[in-house]
Amino acid sequence: MGVRMEKSNRRIALIGFAILMVGLGISDSLRGIFSGIFQTHFALTAKGLSTIIAVSYAGNLCFLLAGGRIMDKIDRKKAFLGFLAVWMCAMLVFLLTDNYYALLVGMFLAMGASTLLNTSITLITPFIFATSPAMIVNVLFFTQGIGTSGGQSLIGNLADDFGGWKAVTGVLFAIGVLAFLIILKLQIPDSGEVKKAEKDQQGRKMKGNNLWIVMVVIFGVYFIAEHGMLNWFVIYGTNALGLEQGKAANYMALFFGGMTVGRLVFSPLVDRLKVFPSIALFSVISAVLYAAGIFSGTLWMLSLAGLFCSIIYPTLVMAIGRLYDPSQVSTMSGLIISVASLFDIGFNYIYGDIAEKTGYGRSFLIMPAAMILFTLLFVLVFHKRILNREQA
């Protein structure tokens, strides 16, 4: 591939992936935005709403388990476009049906395909942007954050009935079509483009250890720390700290707004520091701010932690690509992230009981504890890669 063609290919990738990530960000925020409208339109109980969330998590689990293996077995571009087509089909289900069970099917497909797509983008990017992959990945996650936060703000204020739901899903389908047409022109290296000797050597290394299990625990503990903030901070703020709901929501918005901004601001630094040192540095700062904010009640410090948490997840996904053979990266990423999501599901299932028994003030201490544990595990397991930046 010539220099001019490579530049054109990178431009196509950046535009297509950025458009898609905005759409995925909006898509991922729809459950929360339209939960009240779903409840009214379908006459749902609280259990009916929780079923929507549970089905979404099930979609994540199933799609990641199967999708990673598919991407390693067939042409990456065909696999990616297939995943995108599934996401678009989910938008059509939302757009063309008016049935609770159809909604559940759509949520299973939409959230599963969405998680698989942004994971795939993270893994594909280093093959296209060889000189600055970490920066590009974090910039793309920044665009997803714009979709999420912008969708929550704009759609939350404008969409007040089921017709709004139909309109939004129609727009998302159009975004999917546009991204599909752009990515159709993209050249993505095939998963089989790897030297056999390297593949055999790495395969033997993988069979000789349980590194994937360690990575599952690392991802799982991080999911508890970050998603625990998303799911439980507002109720912690109102019940344990006596904040008004709006004020508690503002602190949470600052946390996740910081995550969005941080991915843009810190993305060049990640490429300079390299993957493993970057995760170590930002996780240490995040853990200190997270714990200090909760234990001292200084919530601006907790909100500031979001800024430094920003690069952790996308760069952590990239770290998987440094640990496994290119022909197996998608399979292992799907396995690790899907199994780690069980931590998320299990924790959110039991947290309500823990909060009822101990109170929200004590139970919320689990979140900074999880962040500290994540940091310690990562540094202890990968201390050699952190110190030796040439291998990071």
In order along its 392 residues, the chain shows pLDDT tens digits of 556 668 889 999 999 999 999 999 888 877 767 877 888 889 887 678 778 877 887 888 889 888 888 888 888 899 999 999 999 999 999 999 999 999 999 999 999 999 899 889 988 888 898 888 888 998 998 998 888 777 766 776 667 788 889 999 999 999 999 999 999 999 887 654 444 434 444 443 444 357 899 999 999 999 999 988 877 888 888 889 998 877 887 888 788 888 889 998 998 999 899 999 999 999 999 999 999 999 888 888 988 999 999 999 999 999 998 898 877 888 899 899 989 988 988 887 788 888 888 998 999 999 999 999 999 999 999 999 999 865 55
pTM above 0.95, yes or no: no
Two tokens, residue 294: 């909760």
C-alpha of 188 from chain center: 22
- Separation CA 324–CA 319 (nearest Å): 9
Contacts 24+ apart (CB under 8 A), 70-76: 70/330, 71/120, 71/123, 71/191, 71/330, 71/331, 72/191, 72/327, 72/328, 72/329, 72/330, 72/331, 73/191, 74/191, 75/188, 75/190, 75/191, 76/124, 76/188, 76/189, 76/190, 76/191, 76/330
